[in-house]
A and B are shown apart, each in its own frame.
Chain A
Amino acid sequence: MSEATVKGWDRQQMADRLAQEFQDGWLVNLGVGIPTMCSNTDLGDREITYHSENGLIGYGPVLPAGQEDLHLVNAGGQNVSLKPDSCTVNHADSFAIIRGGRIDVTVMGAYEVAANGDFANWKVAGQKGGGIGGAMDLAACAKRVYIILEHVTRKGAPRLIPQCALPVTARGVVTLVATNYGLFAPTGTGFRVVELAPGMTIDEVRAATGAPLEQ
């Protein structure tokens, strides 16, 4: 292999791989950051409705400057577009949709994911307070919780670990994790390898993972 050989997935490819799991007719909530990129994925004729926590159900692409409607934002504050079946509701109704179990999948970023399905994404080590937003409601109540994150920290420490060290967002809820190294499913004791990203070997991924890898 030459040095130019592609190893792993980039951010859009991580999002694309998870988006491929979305089924026709699903109501999907995307967290800010990389998860938002799932809405760029071409899913053919599958009809996906995106829910934004600020009370927007069914929205389209972000509009270019000058064409946007400044009364209309998604959860990331981006000026998105309406679709023919779009609907706006107040915050209590938006979270009734979430708490009532109508969200088929929520996709979020995280700092850590544990083998037992716990994950942490609202507070970093030593921080007073944090940023919860809608994450705890979504994590506790969506039918499925998918996570997208870099496989290791900037310092090279694993983010897929036996137990979360940081305060958790919810316990035992994560079913699928996309990283730049591949697609993984927490099993309770480790992570099952669903798919390796191009150019990655199982030994490389095992060395970068804090919990046992299962095939």
Chain B
Amino acid sequence: MRSKTFGSFAEAVADIPDGSTIGIGGFAAPGNPYNLVKALHAQGAKRLTCVANTTGGAHQPRMPDIAMLVENGQVAKVICSFTAATRPTDVLPFTKYYESGEVEAELVPQGTLAERMRAAGAGIPAFYTPTAVGTELAEGRETRVFNGREMLLEYALPLDYAFVRAWRADASGNLQFRLTQRNFCPLMAMAARVCIVEVEEPILPAGSLDPDAIHTSGIFVQRMVVVPPAPEGIWAVRRQERAK
């Protein structure tokens, strides 16, 4: 079998074409594939659709995130649960590109966003959910009553690529995430044609991970890159946590 381990982030993202739909994992810092996003920024693919919980850019120092790809002119559309900050007085870097119409956005409730990717990965084309019924988001869309309750039709969200960050992996691509690092990552891996993982620990020989303690099967993983030590690699966790 061809090795899934790539020597660099640049190599792992080199063939991503213009117009791709890319899921970017992470919730706050944990699970964010900062190194892969940085490599995509350098690679320069354009007219991308980016799927993530937020557009990033809410905190200093800035990390490689969707907003940075937007600023670099690489993004046509984002699909996310926040286009604005939680506090309306905070202005995100993304906002001016959205308000000017330069970049499109599709705002999706967070649980619906997760389930749309899970569905795509599970071969389910669409599903009904009670979320967002009666809101502006449901206007003009198909609803149906089940057990006396109105439900909104939502479609699966397949991805061309998923970028995720994991704690440990073995050579066949089986992944473990640590604590809240998991979030959207396993769902994006399932939804994508090609899942690219940045891994915090050195890749383990096959058979090193307990089969009962694997969060994402290697079936869903096509490419892996080990995050090199700082400053070459971007680390959002401290060294002592890596050792746990």
Contacts and interface: CB of A to CB of B under 8 A. Distances in A.
Q: How large is the interface on B (under 10, 10 to 19, 20 to 34, 35 or more residues)?
A: 35 or more
B28 to A, nearest CB: 4
Given A95-B110, A134-B109, A90 B187 contact: yes
Nearest to A173: B134
Given A124-B88, A129-B105, A137-B112, A70 B241 contact: yes
A171 B83 CA distance: 22
B136 A167 contact: yes
A130 B94 CA distance: 12
Given A71-B30, A99-B129, A136-B109, A89 B187 contact: no
Interface stretch (A18-26, A51-59, A200-208): A51-59
Contacts of B132: 136, 140
A88 interface: yes
Given A55-B182, A90-B182, A170-B133, 7 more contacts: A55-B27, A69-B179, A71-B180, A92-B118, A94-B111, A95-B110, A98-B111
B241 A69 contact: yes
Interface string A122-150: 01100111111111110011000000000
A95 B117 CA distance: 13
A52 B97 CA distance: 31
B20 to A, nearest CB: 22
A50 to B, nearest CB: 13
Contacts of B185: 90
A187 to B, nearest CB: 19
- A contacts with B: majority SS: loop
Contact of B81 (A73, A99, A132): A132
A156 interface: no
Interface string A167-191: 1111100000000000000000000
A32 interface: yes
6 contacts: A55-B183, A88-B180, A99-B111, A132-B81, A132-B82, A136-B112
Contacts of B87: 33
A77 interface: yes
A129 B84 contact: yes
B180 A73 contact: yes
Interface in B10-36: 27-30
Given A70-B236, A128-B99, A133-B86, A91 B135 contact: no
Contacts of A73: 27-30, 180
A27 B215 CA distance: 24
Contacts of A53: 110-111
A56 B180 contact: yes
Nearest to A91: B114
